[in-house]
Chains A and B, each alone.
Chain A
Amino acid sequence: MGTPADEARVMGVDGLDALIRALGERGYEVLGPRVRDGAIVYDGIDGAADLPVGWGDEQAPGHYRLSPRDDDACFGYAVGPHSWKRYLLPPRSKVFEAERGAKVFALRSAEMPRKRFAFVGVRPCELAAINIQDHVFLRDTARDVLYASRREDIALVAVQCTEPSGTCFCASMGTGPAATDGFDVALTELLDGHHRFVASAGSELGRELLAAVGAAEAEQADVDRATTVVDEAAQRMGRSLDTEGLAEALYANLEHPRWSEIAERCLGCGNCTLVCPTCFCTAVIDTNDVTGTGALRERVWDSCFTIGFSYIHGGSIRPSLRARYRQWLTHKLATWRDQFGTDGCVGCGRCITWCPVGIDITVEAAALHEPAPAAGAGR
């Protein structure tokens, strides 16, 4: 799994703390996991002490609880309700402002924030999700300057997964539990004996950082142990999804009775889309101020579960919940490939955990993988 012995380094919690501080000293806005309101969310961190030390989580469809661990693990949990898209594609951002005189009007594009973000504790599935959104927003023919300005120059400190949750299925999607590239530094947390992190650099910045914090060369035993704990995690995935022929099956099953069945349970609330680290849909909202002289365009996280999403004059294309759920699931697992050349799902399990009524994409996809039962056969 990834780390050639000659490049692997090892450090303690103090080394991790120094790494976080080194990023801050280099002018990065350092963001990482923290405990807040009974969950692990992403927010600013100043050092290793801000991490959810000693916390784990328990996840099931529609269910999430923090649980104390019997060790001091810094990364002993799976992903929470936040994803990094909150920073790269903010929930609400300004596209332009406009002002008008008698007959003319002038437009000012939004100021591009030039914050350099450092993300600490990025899971392999999340690296995959960032890569997927890059394919949406950074295509040569349609480079999105708002996304690009936030995406450029970020520093990524990845953490290999050793504690998958009950709703994780990254192993099925080929996005985890180990990351082999796409990071500046990748850490594997080892809790046997001395609490330590096996670290490998994936970029020049990563090498600089590891040198700056004085990470020692790792011994082969630590490197092997790091490989083992991640391999074991792959065996403990809470869920799995058989993707073999799935996209084709979904295309063939657009009229499957299962869609109507799901619509009986689905709330149409949009939670799954907003917690998803790859869902990128935004609404474009034009407003004016009360005097009518100023105008604003914003883009705001939207969801294909809203009726207005598919609105054209004369009404919504997808008024039924059945059609809206079908749009979402087929996009994730089939049409996304045709649109962007990647899958739309990384197997992080957020949509399962954070669905208020526990609808499980792996269960629904499996049901939709099968041909519709013959008419008259009942449910």
Chain B
Amino acid sequence: MLKVVGILLIILASTLIGTYFVKRHLYYLEDLQALLKGLTMLESEIHYAKSPLPIALEQIGIRLETNVRLFFIETAQELQKKSGKSIFIIWKETIEKNMPYTYLTKEEQKLLDSFGKTLGYLDREMQIKNIALIKSSLNEQIQQAFSYKNQQATLYQRLGILGGLLLIIILL
């Protein structure tokens, strides 16, 4: 009896581990999409509404779903303080601070950092082009993440279950 319970527990645990990896990847994909959505909104805020960044970023932050919103909301709050820090520093610090709350990777952090260097500076045309640049890189990431999801998701799930079974066989 005890053995059966043990076997069931092992299978359950290993399946969960497999599912965790799949889910994690799904969340990562969600974060990527949210970021892309945010940047698209920023693009139109700058292009059509000409809203200043503190207002634009806050508005966008409120409308986003995942924790990516923290990047936008907290930058907006920091900007409104007018502490005298440059926007590049503020953006970089906010990203660094909130990175652990998202599923994004070092790669996206690098993209966002270099994007911050030109944020707000000079004319709208330059802003739009910079946003277009980071958006195209993000789109690539999303494509990759999608194909990865299709190929690997089922693999991880099966690997989980099979790994569990393997363990049981060895233990028996």
Whether A associates with B in a native complex is: no
- Interface, chain A (partner B; CB < 8 A): none
